[in-house]
Amino acid sequence: MTIATRMQRIQPFHVMALLARARELEAAGRSVIHMEIGEPDFMTPQPVIDAGHAALTAGLTHYTPATGLPALRERIAQYYLERYDVTVAPQRIVVTPGASSALQLVLSALVNPGDQVLLTDPGYPCNRNFVYLLNAEPVGMPVGAETAWQPSVQQVREHWSANTAALLLASPSNPTGTLLDPASIRGYLDIIRSQGGMLIIDEIYHGLTYGAAVPTALSISDEICVINSFSKYFGMTGWRLGWLVAPPALVPELDKLAQNLFLAAPTLSQHAALHAFDRDSIEILEQRRECFRQRRDYLLPALRALGFAIPVQPEGAFYLYADCSRFTDDSFALSNRLLEEAGVAITPGIDFGSYRASHHVRFAYTTSLENLQEGVRRLREYL
């Protein structure tokens, strides 16, 4: 058996080993505060659960079209109008089994082996692995707090090469929770218009922002690909449902790929998701957003008071990316020590890239305020 060469470049996530160790400790009776998990602690809103029951009762268990239920594509389009005041044709929307599949579809349709895809370092770790899957080259642009963890237009221009097929960014970003500003998006588009390529923006944490209303990148241009998900804001992780909005010319290619790669997104999930946009669902989701905001507003100053440096206030997602260089030059070792000795699980920077990774850790506020307070108490005692 010969393993494909790409598998050497695709690394498992360190946090998975850390999570497994945390489960071991818990099984042995130890208490662990989980601030490593990238999944909302809330369950799916009851109106969506109810819609799932109704779909099951109606026996809706067969395949849907590869691009998704027409009614769901229309409902998502309507959501863009309601929430963002942006008109998106339903025909530009492709429903996928999670945002992961959306990322895979769009990269597979656009990226040849040997091509480059520009990403941020730090950034969502699966992104570079989707690029490796296609035997292409992820190019991490180092970003720091001084640019709110997003690349400057100048930086993108400098990294662009004849082989660059796409620029893939996230807003809000994982692990930093920071946003792209519209002026930068316009600047990236100027580069792409002259150089070719595609701007792909991951908006899966959209909806989970805690300041002024944030526009979707689709309000700036319809030449870009935008990826979104029912997992985070809508609290539907295990349903495996996402979507992407693409320029019209790309949709037939995505449809063709979807027919081959996954046939269709889960049918029950699609029927249930039709009700994720209902007024009673949105009310629940907005209460949860307020909970996340309260958690951020507690955790951010608490971590700063402990000595973690978080120079830019993260405006979204449920992460704080903290500089821990006051405590260590090895954030991976620190993460392990905090788990073993303080009973606090966090994610080491190395899972998100290499730039300043050993000086950073990610805290997720996907657990209750009480748990966060206990976690901070344990950190204070230990550090």
Residue from 25, 126, 145, 291 binding its own copies (CB under 8 A): 126
User: Got the DSSP string for 185-214?
Assistant: HHHHHHHHHHH--EEEEE-TTTT-B-SS--
CA dist., res. 245 & res. 241, Å (int): 14
What mask of x and - would describe binding to its own copies in positions 135 to 164, judged by CB under 8 A? x-----------------------------
Q: How far is the CB of 316 from its own copies (least distance, A)?
A: 21
Stretch that binds its own copies, among 5-13, 204-212, 307-315, 324-332 (CB under 8 A): 5-13
Query: Binding to its own copies by residue 10, rule CB under 8 A?
Result: yes
Query: Binding to its own copies by residue 49, rule CB under 8 A?
Result: yes
Nearest-CA neighbor of 244 among 37, 137, 235, 257?
A: 257
CA dist., res. 135 & res. 372, Å (int): 41
Distance of CA 328 to the CA centre of its chain: 27
Q: Which is nearer to its own copies, 259 or 354 (CB)?
A: 259
Handedness of CA 272, 280, 172, 153 (dihedral sign): positive
Q: How far is the CB of 198 from its own copies (least distance, A)?
A: 6
CA dist., res. 70 & res. 75, Å (int): 9
Strand partners, 118: 139, 167
Residue 173 three-state SS:
coil
Q: Which is nearer to its own copies, 7 or 71 (CB)?
A: 7
How many residues in the shown chain lie near its own copies by CB under 8 A?
74
CA dist., res. 278 & res. 182, Å (int): 29
Residue list 83-112, contact with its own copies (CB under 8 A): 97-98, 100-101, 104, 108-112
Q: Which is nearer to its own copies, 250 or 379 (CB)?
A: 250
What mask of x and - would describe binding to its own copies in positions 64 to 83, judged by CB under 8 A? x-------------------
Question: What is the enclosing helix (H) or strand (E) of 101?
Answer: helix 98-110
Q: How far is the CB of 120 from its own copies (least distance, A)?
A: 17
Residue 64: what residue type?
A: T
Q: How many CA atoms lie within 13 A of 125 on its CB side?
A: 20
Residue list 184-243, contact with its own copies (CB under 8 A): 196-198, 223, 235-240
Q: Which is nearer to its own copies, 2 or 146 (CB)?
A: 2
Q: How far is the CB of 16 from its own copies (least distance, A)?
A: 7
Q: Which is nearer to its own copies, 52 or 175 (CB)?
A: 52
Stretch that binds its own copies, among 257-265, 323-331, 342-350, 368-376 (CB under 8 A): 257-265
Q: Which is nearer to its own copies, 178 or 231 (CB)?
A: 231
Query: Binding to its own copies by residue 17, rule CB under 8 A?
Result: no
Q: How far is the CB of 328 from its own copies (least distance, A)?
A: 27
How far apart, in Å, are the Cα atoms of 306 and each of 309, 316, 330, 377? Answer: 9, 22, 18, 10
